[in-house]
């Protein structure tokens, strides 16, 4: 990579191009989320449930429950 006399990169893209590419990436990300919303909703619900219940499992193990009975209801 070439450096300018001030030590930075010799060429930077124009700010408008950077903003345009960022906005295009946001549109693609939003479209992807909308396309997979049927899958993402349950996946996030499962993630929330795991994060919520995990401390209970740790607490049960700390109090002497066997590993199998700490996570099988």
Distance of alpha carbon 12 from the chain centroid? 29
Distance CA 24, CA 27 (A): 5
Q: What values do phi and psi take at 58, rounded to 5?
A: -60, -45
CB neighbours of residue 57 within 10 Å: 14
**pLDDT tens digits for 8-53?**
666 778 899 999 999 999 999 999 989 998 998 899 999 999 999 8
Q: What's residue 6's pLDDT?
A: 67
**pLDDT tens digits for 41-51?**
899 999 999 99
Taking the domains of the chain in order of start, what are their residue ranges?
15-71
């Amino acid at each position: 990579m070439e450096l300018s006399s001030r030590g930075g990169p010799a060429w930077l893209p124009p700010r408008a191009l950077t903003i345009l590419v960022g906005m295009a990436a946001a549109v693609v990300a939003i479209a992807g989320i909308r396309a997979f919303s049927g899958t993402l909703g349950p996946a996030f619900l499962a993630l929330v449930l795991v994060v919520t219940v995990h401390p209970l499992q740790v607490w049960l193990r700390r109090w002497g429950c066997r590993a199998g009975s700490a996570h099988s209801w």
